[in-house]
């Protein structure tokens, strides 16, 4: 078939990059934390302590005062690979021509884009799952069927569940929140601004008497009607997130029932690293930034096997900046 080699790298990656991203609240919110790096190993410096004292003053003309700022340790970890493929059949590839050749180009690209759209959705959901796994303080993923676990060194106080259930309307949730904010500010110098909950915990917040008395039931009702979220409480903007993925055996939520994540605004405390991968480009091998996409001839069924490969890993560079509550109903 004359068109079996039509899927050149530039054409496939161009189509992939033009596909509109599936909205996913987590990686969309922290998108400024994504960085491209060489290789498939994540490298980062993890802050082990925080300096809260300001600089000492000196008189004019005095020499500078030397300070030891080595309060971090280097970390490395193998990135998680996303590696999937599909068969673009020959009959459909026959409609794919290079730009400017004939009118069949549009139909062929629409066919290719439809398949690539599903793959891109899978890739983004894999990134989303890793993001919230990282925010628990223990990043877990699988490489070659071997479970991997990376401890993000989140302090114990940042993961200590409240002593009184948030499901009880009379629990003083506001005091709990102020306590967690103080822990983060004292431990990292950063400020909690964003909370992630699903519909279960959002219900606890809405029914809580201390929150109702502070904000007013009328205002709460108005916020829910307009945005679907409770809004800012104790300086933390709570976002309800019920997004889900299929984990191989069942559907699971990125933010589980009775779980709360709290973080500062996107900044240097989190970095989501995307590595480089090897691809086949015709008869040559190329190293490209993730994602790498290429096609190889497939004989049965006749067509082209399209392969999409990328590697990535989110890491916490300042782990004392986040709070993870695994169960607010002890």
Q: Is residue 159 part of a domain?
A: yes
Q: What is the DSSP letter of 232?
A: E
Of the candidates 225, 234, 138, which has an alpha carbon nearest to the alpha carbon of residue 184? 234
The whole-number pLDDT of residue 203 equals: 92
pLDDT of residue 3: 41
Query: What gap in Å lies between CA 171 and CA 159, rounded to an integer?
Result: 19
Q: Residues 150, 77: contact at Cβ < 8 Å? A: yes
- Long-range contacts from 279-285, C-beta under 8 angstroms, 24+ separation: 279/9, 279/307, 279/309, 281/8, 281/9, 282/8
* Residue 19 domain flag: yes
Tokens of 183: 């822990």
Query: 44 is written with which tokens?
Result: 């980062």
- Give pLDDT, residue 108: 63
65 occurs within a structural domain? no
Which domain covers residue 157, as residue numbers? 9-49+73-325
pTM for this prediction: 0.87
CATH assignment at residue 142: 3.90.1690.10
Q: Residue 279 forms beta bridges with which residues? A: 286
Distance CA 198, CA 238 (A): 10
pLDDT by 10-residue block (mean), the chain, 330 residues: 48 78 94 95 86 67 71 91 86 58 59 87 96 96 84 96 97 97 94 97 93 78 72 93 90 97 96 95 88 84 87 96 97
Mean pLDDT rounded to a whole number for the chain: 86
Can you tell me the distance from the alpha carbon of 44 to that of 42, in angstroms, rounded to the nearest whole number?
A: 7
Spatial distance between the Cα atoms of 16 and 115, rounded to a whole number of angstroms = 10
The token duo for 124 is: 């983004």
Report the chain's terminal Cα–Cα distance, integer Å: 65
C-alpha to C-alpha distance for 161 and 291, rounded to whole angstroms: 38
Q: How far apart are CA 106 and CA 99, in angstroms?
A: 9
Contact 80, 130 (CB under 8 A): yes
Domain assignment present for 40: yes
Distance CA 222, CA 209 (A): 17
How confident is the model at residue 197, as a pLDDT?
Answer: 97
**pLDDT for 282-311, tens place per residue?**
778 999 999 999 888 878 777 788 899 999
Residue with tokens 């983004």: 124
Q: Is residue 62 part of a domain?
A: no
What was the pLDDT predicted at 1?
33
Q: How far apart are CA 137 and CA 42, in angstroms?
A: 16
CB 140 within 8 A of CB 269: no
Please indicate, yes or no, if residue 68 is contained in any of the structural domains: no
Q: For the segment 174-224, what is each residue's pLDDT rounded down to a tens digit?
A: 999 999 999 999 999 999 999 999 999 999 999 999 998 888 767 777 777
Task: Specify if 64 maps to a domain.
Answer: no
Return the H-helix or E-strand segment holding 17.
Answer: helix 9-18
Count of structural domains, the chain: 1
Residue range 305-329, pLDDT digits in tens? 889 999 999 999 999 999 999 999 9
Q: Looking at the domain assignment, is residue 61 inside a domain?
A: no
Report the C-alpha gap between 271 and 211 in whole angstroms. 33
Contact 184, 158 (CB under 8 A): yes
**Phi, psi (degrees; rounded to nearest 5) at 183:** -60, -45
Residue 227 has what pLDDT?
72
**Beta pairing class for 138-143 and 251-253:** unpaired
């Amino acid at each position: 078939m004359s068109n079996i080699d039509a899927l050149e790298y530039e054409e496939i990656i161009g189509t992939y990059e033009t596909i509109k991203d599936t909205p996913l609240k987590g990686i969309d919110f922290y998108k400024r934390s994504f960085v491209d790096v060489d290789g498939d190993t994540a490298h980062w410096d993890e802050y082990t302590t925080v300096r809260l004292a300001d600089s000492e003053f000196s008189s004019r003309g005095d020499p500078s005062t030397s300070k030891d700022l080595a309060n971090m340790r280097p970390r490395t970890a193998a990135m998680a690979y996303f590696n999937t493929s599909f068969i673009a059949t020959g009959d459909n590839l026959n409609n794919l021509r290079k730009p400017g050749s004939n009118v069949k180009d549009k139909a062929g690209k629409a066919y290719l884009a439809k398949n690539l759209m599903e793959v891109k959705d899978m890739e983004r959901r894999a990134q989303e799952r890793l993001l919230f796994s990282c925010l628990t303080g223990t990043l877990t993923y699988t490489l070659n069927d071997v479970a991997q676990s990376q401890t993000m060194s989140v302090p114990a106080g940042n993961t200590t569940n409240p002593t009184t259930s948030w499901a009880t309307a009379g629990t003083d949730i506001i005091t709990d929140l102020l306590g967690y904010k103080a822990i983060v500010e004292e431990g990292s110098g950063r400020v909690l601004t964003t909370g992630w909950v699903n519909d279960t915990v959002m219900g606890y917040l809405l029914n809580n008497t201390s929150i109702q008395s502070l904000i007013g039931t009328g205002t709460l009702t108005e916020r829910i009607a307009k945005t679907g979220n409770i809004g800012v409480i104790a300086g933390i903007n709570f976002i309800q997130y019920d997004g889900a993925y299929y984990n191989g055996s069942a559907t699971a939520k990125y933010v589980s029932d009775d779980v709360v994540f709290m973080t500062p605004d996107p900044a240097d405390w989190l970095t989501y690293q995307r590595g480089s991968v090897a691809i086949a480009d015709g008869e040559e091998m190329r190293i490209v930034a993730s994602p790498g996409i290429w096609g190889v001839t497939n004989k049965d069924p006749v067509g082209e096997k399209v392969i999409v490969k990328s590697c990535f890993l989110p890491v916490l560079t300042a782990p004392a900046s986040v709070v993870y509550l695994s169960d607010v109903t002890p």
